[in-house]
């Protein structure tokens, strides 16, 4: 079990193959499309949410029946930071489960040769060892603030594994670390660490603020990966990997929140002071104070809208 399916072949051997990139307008999906186009792929299947609602099983099934993609890269999901996860837990678990189930099952039923399911590093336990190995999955409790999204993504991994075991179908999973790059989410409440810092320092610069205050010491470590590097990894996995286990995808390098904040401050050109409120706790999340209002930013990885 866990080998290639009977119709296996190199992903890069036929640039005219029909490739469905689900979620092509998000941070990850758009980078994958750019990469495939640069490699000469000429038959990409791209659908907006208005054109194809991935939560509607009958519509997804009809799409696969009509278009018959050879390869599928599943980068579509409902995503958000801690505020969104805490406010809409039912949406995060139900919508993501629907998208995954519909796309994975229809892919198998309609003869897709290979599928790559993309998840997030938030699938791992809150107190997983660092750096996090793939074997840490399901070894402890999840971070409570994003468990709804994480459970859905874990189900996607297990669904790919189940179809591989039962049907010898080539479904694989990749779990990116914290991502950044073009088409990132800069929402004031739902963005992630790096875009949140970029927005905060930029807005503070425009207002002429004298300082930006961040809770904690700045000592927590984070690993970041540019989304174009993830796109390179996606191509590699589609072409070379056909195993049962999900694979982590990261840069292998970590920076402290302090180093990150100082770098963003310098690049943005904010001339005020960066103040660390060391009386407040460090943690998986951090808070930024601007104009008297505390804002919380999440370190959840990945935006695959």
Give the residue numbers annotated as catalytic, written as ranges.
149
* Rounded CA separation 305/290 (Å): 28
Residue-wise over 161-170: b if at least 16 C-beta within 10 A, else e? bebbeeeebb
* Rounded CA separation 193/189 (Å): 11
Cα distances (angstroms) measured from residue 126 to each of 123, 138, 153, 251: 9, 11, 15, 20
User: Percentage helix, strand, coil, to 5, in the chain?
Assistant: 40, 20, 40
Strand partners, 174: 118, 247
Alpha helices in the chain (DSSP H): 27-39, 57-67, 82-87, 89-109, 147-167, 193-207, 227-240, 257-268
* Rounded CA separation 184/300 (Å): 13
The candidate with the shortest Cα–Cα distance to 230, out of 30, 1, 8, 4, is 30
Quick one: tokens of 22?
């689900």
Residue-wise over 91-116: b if at least 16 C-beta within 10 A, else e? ebbebbbbbbbbbbbbbbebebbbbb
């Amino acid at each position: 079990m866990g080998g290639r399916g009977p119709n296996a072949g190199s992903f890069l051997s036929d640039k005219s193959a029909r490739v469905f990139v689900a979620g092509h307008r998000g941070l990850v999906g758009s980078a994958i499309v750019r990469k495939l186009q640069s490699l000469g792929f000429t038959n990409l299947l791209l659908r907006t949410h208005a054109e194809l609602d991935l939560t509607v099983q009958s519509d997804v099934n009809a799409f696969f029946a009509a278009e018959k993609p050879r390869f599928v890269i599943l980068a579509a999901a409902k995503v958000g930071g801690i505020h969104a996860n805490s406010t809409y837990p039912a949406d995060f678990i139900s919508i993501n489960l629907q998208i995954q189930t519909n796309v994975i099952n229809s892919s198998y039923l309609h003869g897709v040769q290979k599928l790559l399911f993309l998840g997030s590093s938030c699938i791992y336990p809150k107190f997983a060892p660092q750096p996090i190995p793939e074997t840490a999955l399901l070894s402890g409790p999840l971070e409570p603030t994003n468990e709804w999204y994480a459970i859905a993504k874990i189900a996607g991994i297990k669904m790919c594994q189940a179809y591989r075991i039962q049907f010898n179908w080539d479904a694989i999973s990749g779990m990116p670390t914290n991502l950044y790059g073009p088409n990132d989410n800069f929402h004031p409440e739902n963005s992630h660490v790096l875009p949140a810092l970029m927005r905060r320092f930029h807005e503070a610069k425009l207002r002429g603020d004298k300082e930006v205050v961040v809770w904690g010491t700045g000592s927590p470590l984070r690993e970041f990966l540019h989304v174009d590097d993830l796109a390179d990894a996606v191509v590699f996995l589609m072409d070379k990997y056909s195993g049962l286990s999900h694979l982590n995808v990261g840069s292998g390098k970590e920076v402290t929140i302090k180093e990150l904040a100082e770098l963003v401050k310098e690049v943005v050109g904010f001339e005020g002071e960066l103040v660390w409120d060391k009386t407040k706790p460090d943690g998986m999340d951090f808070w930024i104070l601007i104009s008297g209002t505390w804002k919380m930013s999440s370190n959840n990885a990945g935006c695959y809208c």
